[in-house]
Amino acid sequence: EKEKFREKELESVSSKDMEDYIGFANLPNQVYRKAVKRGFDFTILVVGESGLGKSTLINSLFFTDIYSNEYPGPSQRIKKTVQVETSKVILRENGVNLTLTIVDTPGFGDAVDNSVCWQPVLNYVESKYEDYLHAESRVHRTTIVDTRVHCCLYFISPGHGLKPLDLEFMKKLHDKVNLIPLVAKADTMTPEECNQFKKTVLNEITQSKIRIYEFPDCDDEEENKHQKRIKERIPFAVVGSNVIVEANGKRVRGRKYPWGVVEVENMEHCDFVALRNIMIRTHLQDLKDVTNNIHYENYRCLKLGAVGKSGTTANKNPLAHMEEERKDHENKMKRMEREMEQVFDMKVKEKLNKLRESESELNRRSEQMRKTLDQQKRELYQKWKEFEKERTTFEVTNQDMDDTHRRLTLTLDMS
């Protein structure tokens, strides 16, 4: 088409006066040829629990078996920790090369505790920004290979609504990457259930103030009308399939069930075509632009801002620098003094507590001893009383015996 455009343009030029023709009208063709020659890089991050049909959908999107060689079957991919794996393919269509990188995150949401399973994904996204920033700030900048993540397809499990992990993930990543939420395995729901589910998901996303990627309008009015209908389908409910089946005498990519065939590329069956059209045919470049102009720029500003803050003293005059250092030192000493006072107070308090404890222990013991002594005293007194009683009885008995004896002696004497 571009070539035809160029030919037409040259025809119109030749019909005019060649003297008036400068040639910049040909610039778009130059840019086009250069871009085609260079090819395009595009990176898609796919996130979602195992078995939601991520690899099947990616293969369906690009009519290829991206995962066939490097990617084991789903059952083998269930891992306890989240991993980040990349697969790369070079696709060619009408002489245009697209280097497509698919970043998968096997293990996402599969563990018992998924509280931080978004972290490896976030690390990956940021590491790619870091690589790009590094490449940009090199003295000799050759053509930079753009490995940044241009969009994230987030697979939502069909059901009643978003899970806490879905919300957590989107909140962590929505300002770092272009988020496109997808309802996975849409063929497992009836059309009514699917529409209801989409509404619930969209509501929850809005209420949680999560910003998903907004497909912008284009310049063409007609195209906008068409795209509006596509945008109404967000979040796209998708169906994937790796096989070609027969439906109504046609061979189509689909899923065959006893009651009929779900056609992947039938807009009445699912939103697969809507997703493919808007993501690849019309908005691939915008996804790249938003990544570069917004997400990467945010990252860059934060990063360079942090460097700027730590490097503020470098530009000051030496006296101001010394004065600042002196103040810093003073503050440090004061802080140390305060800390030492706090430690001293703490130690004194500890000592006082210990003394109080030992004092109460001594009191307790002396009370115990006093009680024991009282008890012993009472027992002795009791014994003494008993002894006194015995003694009196003994003395009385003894007196009686003496009297008897005396009387007997007297009687004997008289006789």
The site for ligand GDP (CB under 6 A) is made up of 48, 50-56, 74, 77, 185, 187-188, 239-240, 255
E strand spans, 208-333: 236-237, 244-247, 250-257, 260-263
Residue 100 CB, nearest distance to ligand GDP (Å)? 16
Residue 79 CB, nearest distance to ligand GDP (Å)? 11
Q: Which of 74, 120 has the CB closer to ligand GDP? A: 74
Residue 260 CB, nearest distance to ligand GDP (Å)? 13
- Minimal CA–CA distance to 106: which of 163, 60, 67, 150? 67
Q: Which of 181, 295 has the CB closer to ligand GDP? A: 181
Full DSSP string of 326-365: HHHHHHHHHHHHHHHHHHHHHHHHHHHHHHHHHHHHHHHH
Residue 276: C-alpha distances to residues 247, 285, 398 (Å):
21, 14, 130
Backbone angles phi, psi at 6, to 5 degrees: -65, -45
Give the C-alpha separation, 129 to 298, whole Å: 10
Q: Name the closest residue to ligand GDP (Cβ).
A: 53
Mapping DSSP to helix (H, G, I), strand (E, B) and coil, where does residue 22 land?
coil
Report the 10 Å Cβ neighbour count for 31. 10
Q: Which of 107, 227 has the CB closer to ligand GDP? A: 107
- Minimal CA–CA distance to 104: which of 131, 66, 139, 130? 66
Residue 139 CB, nearest distance to ligand GDP (Å)? 42
Q: Which of 47, 290 has the CB closer to ligand GDP? A: 47
Q: Which of 65, 323 has the CB closer to ligand GDP? A: 65
Residue 166 CB, nearest distance to ligand GDP (Å)? 15
Q: Which of 256, 316 has the CB closer to ligand GDP? A: 256
Residue 53: C-alpha distances to residues 123, 204, 205, 224 (Å):
24, 23, 22, 30
Q: Which of 149, 182 has the CB closer to ligand GDP? A: 182
- Residue 122's contacts (CB-CB under 8 Å, 6 or more residues apart) are 172, 173, 176
Q: Which of 148, 185 has the CB closer to ligand GDP? A: 185
Residue 148 CB, nearest distance to ligand GDP (Å)? 23
Residue 165 CB, nearest distance to ligand GDP (Å)? 15
Residue 182 CB, nearest distance to ligand GDP (Å)? 10
Q: Which of 158, 300 has the CB closer to ligand GDP? A: 158
Q: Which of 263, 286 has the CB closer to ligand GDP? A: 263
Q: Measured at the alpha carbon of residue 161, what is the angle toward residues 158 and 166, in degrees to the nearest 5?
A: 90
- Minimal CA–CA distance to 120: which of 66, 157, 79, 89? 79
Q: Which of 57, 290 has the CB closer to ligand GDP? A: 57
Residue 57 CB, nearest distance to ligand GDP (Å)? 6
Residue 155 CB, nearest distance to ligand GDP (Å)? 7
Backbone angles phi, psi at 56, to 5 degrees: -60, -40
β-pair type (85-93, 40-47): unpaired
Give the number of C-alpha atoms closer than 13 A to the C-alpha of residue 371, restricted to the C-beta side.
6
Q: Which two tokens mark 248?
A: 């109504």
Report the 10 Å Cβ neighbour count for 309. 8
Buried b (16+ CB within 10 A) or exposed e, 340-366: eeeeeeeeeeeeeeeeeeeeeeeeeee
